[in-house]
Structure 1
């Protein structure tokens, strides 16, 4: 390492779910190389072997308390795909409503509570003029909480935190860093909406409690949803509960339209230099989701399925999660696993995938990763040999390139407001903007699905479950399926192999596995690592710029790795016992 080169270690990366370590080489003020490591052991697939496939969703959903409902959805879809179940229309609509709620809540939480503090300087807000903050707020939105007195009171509360030396949730950040560019008044606006979003987000998830019984981890059911629809029955989803759902969905739309999206458009112009930073990979993958005519009817999806290579927005390539020859595979060249026989070279399609733990790294705590060897608990997914980025940006780009009218119009509207070309999307700023664009769409679609559900109930179709093929005696001796889902963080899929009515094999490839995985045998970086190359770093001791780009993906390492063992190699049974 030359004198002009420094290794920055960020471990753990905070304001994410799970344990992520980033190491970056900085030369002449810019990142020239980077490594992403998941530092928790993966093992959920081992736990599922031999269990009843109909129970898998309950285990999978507990991978994470943030990405809660989407793993259950992918799981029940994988079983339904394997044994040939088509859920009733009402169940499909309920699933879509819950999915839209999950995306909207997750995107709002990400923007304000996980990512905003990379752009908003909380301490700077103490210098703001509340009257000017009020003027700015009223110029971008008709949100009622925007009076000078409201912002003055909030500023007094914040001043009390600072003077007491107890910043609480705003502690331990890089306040005063020169990369912060917002005026004090806009910073005060951001802090106010940060606190409002905390209150709002706990209300919207009541939709999950209505249809799924609770949140986090609402209940699902292979063959439909575990709830009944009856407008007059006190113990069913009745008129009162449906009215609550409608109210919450309307409030979610208002919060996105009047708070989240205006804030995004107000903050972005101060950071247009980040429209050329953090682009990383040029390949994007989306499985598609929100079916309107059945899970396997991909043409009916609100989010369309497809792949974009080399940022070519003139062509959307087909992607097939079932393709075992040239499709999706997981490699372990730089991951702490081994394949049967001790092999490493070559990938495995998830239907024949393996999760065999083989830790060969340094014993924690250690100064640096052994990046010339295996260095992560994440496997390395590839599509036809290509590293892919997944997430809201991928969904928006696939929809935009595929002339999906609602998505294309929403993207063009945002670009028009920012007076920016489509090329700005290929960046840290573009990734953050895509999440806000998608939140608007999901808030709108959630209400559309709700109206369709009401119409279906009025027409007398209240079926939420089908008994067809529920009995394992009707299943073939062997079958396999795949359940895909567009989780808030991107393309999620669960592959299942069923033999003699039990789970023979189960593999998850989650969004953060795609984005956060280590290099493959060809040295190709995955999304996190690639996105950091060329990023300027003002102060290696305060690597705010690294955090900005990594947070733009909204990492969820708890989904990508599932169990923790602080030490050397351990046997499978020891992991399961602990």
Structure 2
């Protein structure tokens, strides 16, 4: 059967030419994508495959729940910290541990620094080259580039013609050397690239600036968490003491000098996202004003748990709210409860796992991770060298999470749609002012409902959220200082550190508004050990294969009906998939096929 109408409203046609992109690069992990294009080179079917094995949940069974954060944090080195935070929150939820306010604020700052850093790295170093042609920047007039900078981001100090001429000369030397590095193998003559040479030069200059800045902001993690990536966390708080008037030699890593250092890095981040990041996305979008593709599920079904929900303190009114929207109805927001087994379930009908009844889904507290690798009869190739996958059978190492049976898109775009719909003043002002600037540059009249559920809208939402986080983490810093001045120096609550104080059985859930979307960790504890541990991470939601009903996930839906200039140079496929910033390492964890010990480390 070549034509299929999915229950969630997408029309698929497998009759056209099959295009395979394997691997999809400039992402975290391993991903394969196949599409069918019709005679007009329009995508009519899409299949997304996670090609790494999931199994971290198996590794955690029987371990001390206080150690779980250190294992799950290694899921990924890009979204560093968000899994550790979700883990300690899950354990604290299970054991009813209340953390000190200082610990809450430090965790908040670490999470928002991660959010800002991840968004900037995503756009400039993982996604920008889907829109920006650095080779074309050699043709730019530096004076005209300076004028464009003054028009789009007038407050950025690096904007003179001489500055852009220097960047252009550096780029010329680099390209003429024949060693293109990250610019190698680009489709630089593809007409899918639309920027002017001046816009290409401006964006390339900011690409280089972001390389320098991103290594500075993560120093906040080294102050609070000792290192980056994978900063230290602990159940009950944070592992850094405060001695506001002391020096580092006294043994307390937080004194006023360190806290002022943190504030300076945050202020740099705030200025860059306001003066460079957001203006760059708007400027680039103005050159792609007719390219309103890639929306997929974001036009209908979006969801988020809410910004840092299930913590011990009330959320401030300016933070991002959660909920679910179905059918594109922005006037009705459904409440989301991650503890409800009727709401969140994972299916494996098209995943390389096995359930006793694969027509049913399992809530994470009852989740199972039993691998079962098999290929459908329609697969072309072999088990170790697949040429074309059979999507009618099992075809991915990613499970299929669903909310009340619905496939959902998660991520910054989902959060911004939800909060625009719920009247968040900060979000509404950001979106409206950005669209006003875009419409003026492009000569368009796009509304939020037209512009947001697109690949460009998904990219813009990340830029806006980065600046929102920069604003909030500065507020958190001031609140921490006020709390310390009031005499509160506590950073950890160890009242329930001893397992003897725990109930015989407990279960909990920890949630984090991670850079790529809502992140949830579920834990069951029995006799002081982990009985079951399950993670549903953002890319599990977005990269999920079909479910038993035939509903397709966000990656697959986003590619449908997109025209391609040159199918053999899949710029458009990469552009849309990269807009999600897929993290396959998060969604498909690795273990040995036979379960044997892979390595052992002895700490002396």
Sort the TM-score into its range (normalised by shorter chain).
over 0.9
CA deviation map 1:182-239 (0-9, x unaligned) = 1100100011000110000000000000000000000001000000111122232001
Residue 513 of structure 2 aligns to a residue in which SS? strand
Shift of 1:145: 1.3
Shift of 1:138: 2.1
Residue 388 of structure 2 aligns to a residue in which SS? coil
Q: Distance in 1 between matches of 2:15 and 2:306?
A: 45
Listed as ranges, the matches of 1:187-336 within 5 Å are 187-234=200-247, 235-236=251-252, 237-281=254-298, 282-290=300-308, 294-295=311-312, 297=314, 302-324=319-341, 326-336=342-352
Is the 1:278–1:533 contact (alpha carbons within 8 Å) kept by the matching residues of 2? no
> May I ask how many residue pairs the two structures share in their alignment?
570
Q: Distance in 1 between matches of 2:188 and 2:438?
A: 27
Q: What stretches of structure 1 of length at least 5 have no aligned partner? A: none
Residue 518 of structure 2 aligns to a residue in which SS? strand
Shift of 1:278: 3.4
What is residue 421 of structure 1 aligned with on the other side? Answer: 447
Is the 1:298–1:305 contact (alpha carbons within 8 Å) kept by the matching residues of 2? no
Shift of 1:95: 0.6
Closer, same or farther in 2 for the Cα pair 1:3/1:391, shift >3 Å? closer
Of residues 1, 14, 22, the one that matches 1:11 is 22
- Is 1:551 the counterpart of 2:578? The answer is yes
Q: Distance in 2 between matches of 1:49 and 1:3?
A: 42
Residue 307 of structure 1 aligns to a residue in which SS? strand
Listed as ranges, the matches of 1:17-416 within 5 Å are 17-28=28-39, 29-140=41-152, 141-234=154-247, 235-236=251-252, 237-281=254-298, 282-290=300-308, 294-295=311-312, 297=314, 302-324=319-341, 326-339=342-355, 342-361=356-375, 362-416=382-436
Q: Distance in 2 between matches of 1:173 and 1:280?
A: 29
Q: Distance in 2 between matches of 1:20 and 1:473?
A: 44
Residue 68 of structure 1 aligns to a residue in which SS? coil
Shift of 1:70: 0.3
Q: Distance in 2 between matches of 1:3 and 1:477?
A: 53
Is the 2:14–2:44 contact (alpha carbons within 8 Å) kept by the matching residues of 1? no
Shift of 1:575: 7.3
Q: What stretches of structure 2 of length at least 5 have no aligned partner? A: 3-12, 376-381, 440-445
Q: Distance in 2 between matches of 1:98 and 1:435?
A: 18
CA deviation map 1:411-442 (0-9, x unaligned) = 22222222320111011111111111111111
Is the 1:124–1:176 contact (alpha carbons within 8 Å) kept by the matching residues of 2? no
Farther-moved stretch of structure 1 (496-505 vs 132-141):
132-141
Q: TM-score, normalised by structure 2?
A: 0.92
What is residue 571 of structure 1 aligned with on the other side? Answer: 594
Closer, same or farther in 2 for the Cα pair 1:445/1:60, shift >3 Å? same
Residue 507 of structure 1 aligns to a residue in which SS? strand
Is the 1:298–1:304 contact (alpha carbons within 8 Å) kept by the matching residues of 2? no
Is the 2:90–2:510 contact (alpha carbons within 8 Å) kept by the matching residues of 1? yes
CA deviation map 1:313-342 (0-9, x unaligned) = 112110000001x21000000000012xx4
Closer, same or farther in 2 for the Cα pair 1:333/1:88, shift >3 Å? same
Is the 1:161–1:168 contact (alpha carbons within 8 Å) kept by the matching residues of 2? no
Residue 272 of structure 1 aligns to a residue in which SS? coil
